[in-house]
Chains A and B, each alone.
Chain A
């Protein structure tokens, strides 16, 4: 049936992988007046409304599926349908709010044609209110059109590496780590440091932190890239300003199903195992040295209290890195002109400059400045919100919907 076909199409589109999220640009659609719907001034693109109504149709189909006894009997199917349906709840809500406004507007306009002055005043106020609400809904509904990034809900492996610049770069990297730790805590996320290489003069060469919580990736994905600092280093004796960098990589955490690793591609051995081993020694610290031969990725994990846990952690980190590499490849293919690129940190573009003399932090994609003090104490939420907004704008433009 056509509703089933539509269902399948949209369910497929909605649950497609990262590629669907990076929609290829289409020719812009002109906003058309929807004469059949009454209101003379149309603030919402007919294209947007049509699409959203289709999505509501899918929601209805999924609701019907939940009533189906054969679906009810299958726990997996029930969970899947419930989940897919829940993703569309926002659409249904927004559409019904919009249609409610439309209705009020139509009624108010009819009232406006009455002779009674008082009624006309009421109608005028009602029209104004309804139009304002519809404008707000317009923005919301456009965003609802965007396919969501399937990685948005994932936890991440957050990695910082000090760039060139010796001790100062190492100190900068550790300042950045503190910044993000505070931000994560403020967001109510759990952080766990899984590896860290300290630098002799203070600071660190690199560190990896696992961050778990709600929608972590969706917020941190724009943090990947090079963060540059301009300041007088603590080690500087003559008060000169130095520039150093640190690179942030954001890798969504994936399970064993998402990234297949061939056991033959891995070489793993226990590092720091000089001497007899076995019963002869009491080992408090175990270290796993893991090499993934095809990519050359090498990991050294010593964080956990047991060798097995270090092994599991190493595999988790490897999966995250391999997935991040896959994502990079996919992103590179969809050569998009967007300013807001979700990198995994592989590219070398500077995304932010932190200038201590002028006490400001500049995001180069947004082209805006933020007060440095707030930023360094973990207050980066406003920057992230702006990044999310710019990203939405750009993706809407590609879809052919003006923001």
Chain B
């Protein structure tokens, strides 16, 4: 509306709230938090601090997962089976909900450490009419809890998610800690650090996701793992997976794919269905 009628003065009723929004923006509050919602893929999602605001690259991650999941999901439906997706670090529910919208018979579990994220993804699922197929599960210890088996303390989540999923997707925190200080204020001051920082090389959480993968994936499913990562990560991950400690996981890098800015951003990996038996995931 503003775009089209740029020359006209603002109506009285709207002026107050609009000026308040401008003040917030002057304090570097992200626009998406000010407006309260934003478009992602084919959805509009409610957004509120400190839950991570979905990035445009993550839309491309959704497209990649969709391209490889449409056929298996259809085949599962035809055979009367479930098709289950696990979204590790679900945040606002963006990835899982966008996938569910396009895959009419799939189900999704979203896992997150943050209570705000769980509340927000549940809200979004409800508003999008997807609650019957979407479950948000709080795991306060994070995916680390599932990276070792048996877990140090049995958690409710661990029991619920074992060996159930056809596809694992994750936009886990991947920023190296050194880069955290130079983030723009919108990000640094308003978004959850736990959704951003991946430790020294940025791979701490991602490594745990891959350690947990053999526990989470169905041996009879696609065994596919899709990650969004920092641009430095793809070769580091490939190498790590071949190291003696990690090799036993049975997870291999299939390929990595650039985003629309030409940066190596997405990794497709696969679990062989055998690795990661009890004990060998301690690495």
Contact = CB atoms under 8 A, between A and B. Distances in A.
Physical interaction between A and B? yes
A276 B186 contact: no
Interface stretch (B141-149, B209-217, B236-244, B256-264): B256-264
A281 B30 CA distance: 11
Nearest to B191: A282
Contacts of A304: 39
A306 B30 CA distance: 15
A193 B6 CA distance: 13
B27 interface: no
Given A282-B30, A283-B56, A277 B263 contact: yes
A269 B60 CA distance: 12
When A and B form their complex, which 9 residue pairs have the shortest distance between CB atoms, in order from nearest?
A307-B56, A273-B261, A270-B260, A306-B39, A305-B39, A282-B186, A308-B59, A270-B261, A286-B56
B20 interface: no
B55 A278 contact: yes
A280 B56 contact: no
A268 B122 CA distance: 35
Given A193-B4, A308-B59, A284 B259 contact: no
Contacts of B259: 270, 277-278
Contact of A268 (B30, B63, B186, B260): B260
Interface string B219-244: 00000000010110000000000000
Interface residues of A, number: 22
Interface in A269-306: 269-270, 273, 276-284, 286, 288, 304-306
Contacts of A277: 55, 57, 231, 259, 261, 263, 265
A284 B35 CA distance: 11
A331 interface: no
A397 interface: no
Contact of A306 (B31, B56, B175): B56
B38 A306 contact: yes
A269 B260 contact: yes
A306 B173 CA distance: 21
Given A307-B56, A307-B59, A308-B59, A279 B263 contact: no
B182 to A, nearest CB: 9
A308 B42 contact: yes
A182 interface: no
B88 interface: no
A278 B41 CA distance: 16
Given A269-B260, A270-B259, A306-B59, A280 B39 contact: no
Contact of A282 (B174, B175, B187, B265): B187
Interface in B235-283: 259-263, 265
A281 B265 CA distance: 14
A281 B39 CA distance: 17
B52 interface: yes
Interface string B8-32: 0000000000000000000000111
Contacts of A109: none
Contacts of A284: 30-32
A309 B195 CA distance: 25
Given A193-B4, A288-B260, A279 B38 contact: no
Interface string B67-109: 0000000000000000000000000000000000000000000
Contacts of A278: 55, 57, 174, 228, 230-231, 259, 263, 265
Interface of A: 193, 268-270, 273, 276-284, 286, 288, 304-309
Contacts of B60: 307
Given A193-B3, A270-B56, A280 B41 contact: no
Nearest to A192: B4
Contacts of B30: 282, 284
B53 interface: yes
Nearest to A306: B39
A246 to B, nearest CB: 19
11 contacts: A270-B56, A277-B57, A278-B174, A279-B195, A279-B230, A281-B55, A283-B56, A284-B32, A306-B56, A307-B56, A308-B42
Given A270-B260, A278-B230, A278-B265, A283 B55 contact: yes
Contacts of B42: 308
B203 interface: no
B183 interface: yes
Interface string B168-190: 00010111000100011011000
Contacts of A286: 56
A283 to B, nearest CB: 6
A279 B260 CA distance: 15
A268 B186 CA distance: 28
Contacts of B113: none
A269 B175 CA distance: 23
B39 A279 contact: no
A278 B187 CA distance: 11
A402 to B, nearest CB: 47
A305 B56 contact: no
A337 to B, nearest CB: 41
Contacts of B261: 269-270, 273, 277
B262 A279 contact: no
Contacts of B3: 193
A276 B196 CA distance: 13
Interface string B39-58: 11110000000001101110
